[in-house]
C-alpha cells in the first residue's frame, strides 16, 4: 500500500517543521511582541503553581532519562499555565559543591 492508494486529506501545511530554519524567526517575533511579559502580566493575581526543579545532573552525560525528566516538567508547568494559573518554573542549581565548577574551568 502506498500513499497514492490512501485517501489522505490535502493540506497546505508543510509536513516538516524545519525547526532549525524556522525557530529563530519565531523567537524573534515573540521577543518583538514581548510575549513572555504579556503572559506573566496576564497571570498576576491568579492562583500560583510553582515547580521548583532539582539541581541539574552533574554526574554524567545527558541521556533520554534526563530529557524525559525536563520534558515532563515543562509539560506540567505549561498545563497549569493553560489551566488559568500563574505557573512558574524555577530551575535548580548545582548543590554538589565546587567540583563541577572546577571541572568546567
pLDDT given at position 105: 67
Q: 19: pLDDT confidence band, cut at 50, 70 and 90? A: confident
Nearest 5°: the CA angle 27, 40, 84 is 110
d(CA 90, CA 88): 6
Give the rounded percent of residues in the chain with a pLDDT score beyond 90: 47
Q: Is 4 exposed, middle or buried (0-12, 13-18, 19+ CB in 10 A)?
A: exposed
Residue 17 has pLDDT above 90, yes or no: no
**Across the chain, what does the average pLDDT equal?**
85
Task: State the pTM of this model.
Answer: 0.65
pLDDT given at position 6: 84
Between 41 and 97, residue with greater pLDDT: 41
Main-chain phi, psi angles of 90, to 5 degrees: -110, 110
Q: 102: pLDDT confidence band, cut at 50, 70 and 90? A: low
Amino acid at each position: 500500500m502506498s500513499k497514492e492508494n490512501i485517501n489522505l486529506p490535502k493540506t497546505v501545511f508543510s509536513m516538516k517543521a524545519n525547526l532549525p530554519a524556522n525557530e529563530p524567526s519565531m523567537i524573534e517575533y515573540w521577543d518583538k511582541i514581548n510575549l513572555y511579559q504579556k503572559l506573566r502580566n496576564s497571570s498576576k493575581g491568579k492562583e500560583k503553581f510553582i515547580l521548583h526543579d532539582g539541581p541539574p545532573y552533574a554526574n554524567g552525560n545527558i541521556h533520554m532519562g534526563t530529557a524525559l525528566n525536563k520534558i515532563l516538567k515543562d509539560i506540567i508547568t505549561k498545563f497549569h499555565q493553560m489551566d488559568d494559573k500563574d505557573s512558574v518554573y524555577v530551575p535548580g542549581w548545582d548543590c554538589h559543591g565546587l567540583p563541577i565548577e572546577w571541572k568546567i574551568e
